Structure 1
Amino acid sequence: MTCETHPKPPPLLLLHLLLISILPLQITASPATQAEALVKWINTLSPLPPRSPLTSWSLANLKNLCNWTSIVCDSTGTVSEITASGANLSGTLAHFNFTPFLNLARFDLSHNKLIGPIPSEIGRLTELQYVSLLNNYLDGKIPYQITHLQKVWYLDLGENLLLNSDWSKFSAMPLLTHLAFNYNLLASEFPGFILHCHNLTFLDLSHNKFNGTIPESLFTNLGKLEFLYLFDNLFQGPLSPNISHLSKLKQLRLGSNQFSGLIPDDIGAIFNLQTIELDNNSLEGRIPASIGQLKGLSRLDLSVNSLNSTIPSELGFCRNLTFLALAKNSFTGEFPLSLTNLTRIKELGLSGNSLFGVISPYFLSSWTELISLQLQDNRFTGEIPPEIGQLTTLQFLSLFNNSLSGSIPSKIGNLKNLMELYLSENHLSGPIPLTVGNLTNLQFLQVFKNQLTNSIPSEIGNLKDLIELDLSENHLSGSIPQTVWNLTNLQLLRLDSNNLTGTIPPEIENMASLQILDLNTNQLEGELPDTISRLGNLTALSLFSNKFFGTIPSDFGKYSALRYVSFSNNSFSGELPLELCSGFALHEFTVNSNNFTGPLPECLRNCSQLNRVRFDGNRFNGNITNAFGVHPHLSVIYLSDNQFVGEISEEWGECESLTDLQMARNRISGKIPAELGKLTQLRVLNMDSNQLSAEIPTVLGNLSLLLKLNLSTNHLTGEIPRSLSNLRELSNLDLSRNSLTGNIPKELGNCHKLLSLDLSNNNLSGEIPFELGYLTELQLLLDLSSNRLSRNIPENLGKLSKLESLNVSHNQLSGEIPSSFSCMVSLRNSSIDFSYNNLTGLIPTSTIFKDAPAKAYVGNSELAFTMRITDKCDVYSFGVVSLEVMMGRHPRELFSFLSSSKSTKATPISDSAEFLLKDVLDQRLPQPSGQIAHDVAIVVTMALHCVSDKPESRPTMHFVAQELSARTPACNSYPMDTMTISKLTSFEK
């Protein structure tokens, strides 16, 4: 087989084919096609403003492309630069035809309103050297084709909405010196391709969500870096000691990440550093001494870390520092004296540490260029030096929350550039210096929580730019200067918790910008001026605990959207103004402890943002049924101690944020609505002393967070719901003074956090549940008195070792007082009561029971401190039986009267308030007269002496027999109709 040889094409043919192949590229890159492409693209964008410089981009101007605004041409007449930065372009790059611009070297569309993704076609423009799409709204992934632009030295895609890309597809860009991806939505580990861009001098990845550790190769590969911005990301781990390899670094900004560990000791070897920002991380340990080698350092921010130890004296060698922030760390000790070398310092922030000692005048004399001095939240002591007056360029001074004492130096008046002054929460005393009136640029003045005295200087009225004035919680006295009411720019005025007197003048209307006015807890008096209603920007007004009186102006609230109002603890009267909540913005409204009358304003129903309301302690009346609507944010409402009538609305069940609902001591009637069971956030429910009826809803057992439940003194009937045992957080339960029946649910023993339980004055029957002994946290009270409880007292109650008060009186209990009660060591002997039962046997021998008053055991004829039988026991029994015969019933009620009358010896009971003998006798029998009446009086007299509380005061049976046989006259001088029990008990034996 032979190989056939083909002839070579002539050179002329090859040249012809080459020309044909490049012809399309020449055609597409012509000025005409470029102009058409630009016009076509710009027509897809939103219309440009009439005076836009890009109006020259027009088909009518097609042949003058090189003179178009933002267009630069090369020597061939084709476009080499598009620089339409800040041209108000609004639209996408989707319709931008990149093909005609193959010679483009500069592409700058920064600071516009472009949206959508960056087209991958941008990777075709291989001659590009400069690309900036900074500050647009571009989104989507960064196309990996952008790294095909191997000649690019400047790439800025910052301040957009760009998302993660697959960084493994990105190529190294060998000529790249400036790379910025800052302010985007990038969330990944450190992009690997960057580590191979060896010529980078500027790298900005800040304000993203990059995470993981910084690769070690960054410090070894990118040795030309001068600016490294990685702040506001999620980088973590320790800072590598190899950071010192970045020897050309000028700015190191790594703040707001999650870096931990120590600051590398060799950081001082990066001699060119001018800026170090490591703030808002978790760095710990000390500041390396090597930092003193950074002679060119002008900015150092190590704030918000966990650095400790003392401030190194070597910092004083950084004489070019203008900004030093070490705030919110754990530095201790005093200022090192070397800091006096920082004569160029303009901003110094050391707040939030544990620095102590005095603020030396030497420092202040050295820092005369200071603009901002922040030493708050430390432990500095001593006085504020007068040398503070040398800081004449100071604009911001904050010394609050230290232990500074002495007076405020008058030299502070020299700081005429001061805009903000914070001296609160110290121990400053004396008067406010008059020179404060010289601070005419001041906008914020806060000196609250000190011990300042005297009056508020009228010179404060000179501070016309003042926005906030807070002098609260001091000992200031006198009236509020008239000049204060002329501060028309003031937005916040707090003078609360002082001893200020006088009135609020009509001139308050001058404070048109006022938003917050707090004058609570002073001695202010008088009526509110009508002009207070004209403060249209007022959102918060606090006047509680003063001596104000009179009515609230009728149009108060009409012209403002009030959110917080408190008139509590004054002497206001009259009805609340109808316009009070017309803005429907009220969040908190407290008017408790005044003399307000009338119904509640109807507009309250529509205040959907209500959070806290107090109307208690007034004389409000009217029907409350529909006074409120559905308030989804309402957490606290007090309506107690008024004269409200009506029923509890079912709508309360929709106020699902309620934690505290109190309606006690009103005239509210009807049933407790079952809808209250929806209030699962409720902690306190108090409805005592109303006229509520029907049964307690079982759904109240759903209120699992309830701490206090008080339904006492109503007309509630039925049994105690067993579901109440679900209230495992309950500390106080009071159902007393109702008409509840049935047994005490044994399940109440599950409420292990109860401190107080009161079920007294009902018609409960059955035995005391053994399970109540499990309530071992009971401390304040266990009161089961005045019911119909029977059988023995459970031995288990002796476990209530914390209980201080126990009352089981006026029941039908029998058996002995359990011996285990001797273990109830917290009981107060004055707060136990077993009276008027059928108890027998020995009283426990502990001191508490021995020292209890006799009335605690009265009405238990067979209860004794000893089982030794004496005639005193016999005579007591005789007395009880005799009285039962005469009265036709057990003398329990009579014993109770006798006990109470003895406890009020200082105030004798009048005859009209006593028992008459004729009323005590058995009413089924005719009233005795004559000799029978005389004999009855003798028997009752003897019986009353026989049941004396004190056994030693009882007569002997021999004496009783003699007296009855002799028929000794008993109060013969008193007729039966007027004979009282007290006269019989006072009759001498």
Structure 2
Amino acid sequence: MASPFCCTTLVLSYVSIALVVTIFPTFGTGSTRLATASELEMEAKALLHLGWWSWHGNDTRDRCEWRGIACNEAGSITSIDCSWVAVRGSISPEIGAFSSLESLILSHSALVGELPPSLGKLTLLEELDLSDNSIYGSIPLDWGNMKSLKQLDLSNNQIRGPIPPTLGNLTNLEQLDFSNNQIRGPIPLDWGNMKSLKQLDLSNNQIRGPIPPTLGNLTNLEQLDLSFNQITGAIPREIGNLKNLSELNLSKNKLNGSIPLSIFNLSRLSHFYLDSNLLEGPLPQEMENLKALSFLDLSNNKLIGPIPSQIGNCLVLEELYLSNNHITGSIPFEVFTCPPHTLDLSHNFIEGEIPHQFDNDLYLQGPIPEDFSYRFSSDSFWGNKYLCGNLPDFSPCPSKSSNELKIVQIILPVLCFLAFLGLGVLLFLRSRAKDNIPEPNVTKNGDLFSILNFDGRIAFEDIIEATNDFDIRYCIGTGGYGSVYRAQLPSGKIIALKKLHRREAEVLAFDKSFKNEAKILSEIRHKNIVKLHGFCLHNRCMFLIYEYMARGSLFCVLAYDNEAMEMDWIKRVKIIKDTACALSYLHHDCHPPIVHRDISSNNILLNSNLEACVSDFGTARLIDPDSSNQTMLVGTYGYIAPELAYTMVVTEKCDVYSFGVLALEILMGKHPGELLVSLSASFSKNIMLSDILDPRLSLPSDRRVAKDIVFAATVAFACLRSNPKFRPTMKCASQEFLSRKRPVANRLQAISLLQLKEHDLYMDDEAKFQSQKSGEIVGLHASSST
């Protein structure tokens, strides 16, 4: 039997042990605590090495309170978000020291350099967002170790190389976005292991090879975008296993074969894009199974056969595009059971009658084809107030000939009056000239570049020698006012000569007014306006002497692929900006203001560095110096403001409209004629900005360049408003180009033309067009200046 002393000692021993266990951790825990302290020290050093919070100095003790950083209870960093500060430089390999990191967001910054393999050490990382930077290089193989990753966004960078198959190990991944990069090679077969994936976007890369059938294992996938790549082969039938898919975009590839029937079992599919491929075969009747389908684009393929009547069972279909195929037969009336808002069947082999269900459509626009007058009565189109044509009760469509007739009816009496007036002036001046005939100046040849009113006869002899009497070999262009010649003077200086049509060669008063106007124009000084050096008047001809622009007109550069590709997005935006500055100078800084009247790609000249200068400014006034802006209609077809058809009043806002057309032409690489005709609200919401940009250039990977493109397009659409009162002034447009305001950085593929027209891309009122003129706001949303 134990003594009481022994019992007391035993109890005290147990109590002591209990206190030790309560107050102090076990030795194993104590070693973990020491390791944790070591990790915290490594995190602190790594944080200083990154340099993203340099304004805090070297004291990192309060780092958990720094903006963009979150920590756990032990003080280890779990989240870094620098999207608010736009960090610069490269991502240091030290980033791998943050072993507790769960979220890393470095989007919308100015990061460069390669992707660090050390990120693969972050096995607890769930969110990684490096989008909208200038990161290059390839994706490291080690990234396949980030097993906890749920969101991975590398979009809008310059990432190259193949896709590592090790990413197939990321079985918890739900969102993956590699869009707008330069990734090459095939899609790995192992990606079929990422069964948690809901969103997969590989659009606008250089991915080749077929679509792997293993993607059919991603049964949780809701959005799949492989558009704008070089994917070949047939669409695998396994895609039909993606039962949760709501958006499928395989457009702008090189897919061939027929559309697998299994796809038409995707009952949740609402947006289906297969346009611009090499798909063949008929349109399947199984289309009726797509009950949730609201948007279907199968245009620009090689589809054959008739339109299946079962498409009428797609009751929520709003937009249907089947253009540019080999579809035959007639239009089934079932299409109009629940008619789509937009229907494009153009450029096919469809025949037969148009279904009478068109009677219920009250929003048709444009001219009624002439053949329709033999098949339909005006009742067939009743209620469509935007139609025009030869049918009774419809107004005739405006045509070029009718507009020209209207112009002739207005101008002819004026010309007759001016002719009689000019004849009287001529007779009067001749009677006075007989008494005061000046001696001709036969001085030595002068310097054409320093003397404006040099002797015309001597200047003419110089030009005759330089151009071999205006030989066709020296002609580099023609226009409405005359022909342009390249001439090299004895001094070696190269000039451009615009030989004008001499309609008033016998009118002495014209010579005087011509000289006065030429003197005014020669005093214009702007870096983006072609310099007028002088002029020559001669009894045989008259011409203007301009500086020579080595690359010729913008129109010619855009017409040739090699030269157009040399003109990258930065140069194109700069050309738009420089043209705006030049027009602003002519409209607002010249006295009196000069309206160009003929802004077009032919009148934008480029020097050897592809820098733009506006030419032909004021030429209309030279030809008719007594004309005001309101009495002479000039311009190039396709650039003329619509109000001139009925007002005959030329104002600065006419130049603004022409500038809008020009800006779109520069971005598109061609004249936007068809686009301007189809820019209705219902149609433009379905056209993405990226779809109209010049396909000869790849979409910009630099976020800042993309912003500039969006801004230039926004300016262009503001200038194209049909009501001139609501177009911005050129001064307003020019000032905005020089400011730092830019639209919200949406990716180009997500921006529709409707957004540009309505300017939804601006973050707040400070990012809207505004300029002050005489105390009046003249800007993007309201411009009352005409």
Return the TM-score normalized by structure 1.
0.37
Which protein is richer in strand relative to its size? 1
Return the TM-score normalized by structure 2.
0.46
